[in-house]
Structure 1
Amino acid sequence: MDPIRKKKIESEIIKTLSNLFVSGKVKDPRIGIVSLHRAELAEDLTKVKIWVTSYIEEKQKGKFLSALKNASGFFQKVIADELRLRNTPRIHFIWDENFIKSLKVNELIDSLSDQADKRESETSEEE
């Protein structure tokens, strides 16, 4: 498959699903606020992996992913209607651990930056 076409379809899938979540058409209360990070479409277009996160506690992650899995048929139907592909890919949601780790790294960098700023201001006051 042409890599440009593949990227376009992946982008359209993310856009379509994002619109569903923002518009409130997803009624399951277990899902809540969802961040869709990326999609990876199989070469044969039969499945798509979608990396997601949400502002939930760690113990609720299983229920959250289960709710997304239960709603995947609905998501597939909407994607089929919107994108009009010959075959609609099966959706597999994956919790995006790398995104969570990058948030933690950014928090550490910010805290180190704040500490460095404090030290710098303390040394300039002493002089």
Structure 2
Amino acid sequence: MNPIRRKKIEAEAVRTVAMMILSGKVKDPRVHMVSVHRAEITDDGKYMRVFVTAISSEKKKIKVLAGLNSAAGVFQTTLSGKLGLRITPRMQFLWDEEYIQSLDESLRLIRKPTNPD
């Protein structure tokens, strides 16, 4: 797949999912206060991983992901309509551990005491 086309599809997927959640088009009560960070599409364009986070406990994290994965078809249909895709990628929602680790690292660096030499 063309890298420019890939980036366009990934960016539109992030926008579409975020806007549908914010506008309330996803009626699943498990899906709320979700932050969509990035999407990665496979080379053949058949599958897409969407990385999300939310402020929640471990138990609620599983429920949020289950709600998003159950609503994946709605997201796929909307994305396909917006971009006019012949092959609509199947979406899988995953927790963005890299984002959480980068936040933890940033907080650790901010809180690190400085030496007043």
Tell me if TM exceeds 0.5. yes
| Counterpart in the other structure of 1:52 | 52
Identity of aligned residues (%): 43
Name the count of aligned residue pairs: 117
* Equivalences for residues 33-112 of structure 1 within 5 A: 33-112=33-112
Q: Give the TM-score normalised by structure 1.
A: 0.84
Rounded to whole Å, the distance in 2 between the matches of 1:2 and 1:99 is 26
More helix by share: 1
> 1:86 Cα deviation (Å)?
0.5
- The amino acid that maps onto 1:93 is F
Q: Which blocks of at least 5 consecutive residues in structure 2 are unaligned? A: none
Q: Which blocks of at least 5 consecutive residues in structure 1 are unaligned? A: none
Q: Give the TM-score normalised by structure 2.
A: 0.91
Q: Which runs of 4+ in 1 moved over 3 A?
A: none
> 1:111 Cα deviation (Å)?
1.1
> 1:108 Cα deviation (Å)?
1.0
**How large is the Cα RMSD of the aligned pairs?**
1.5
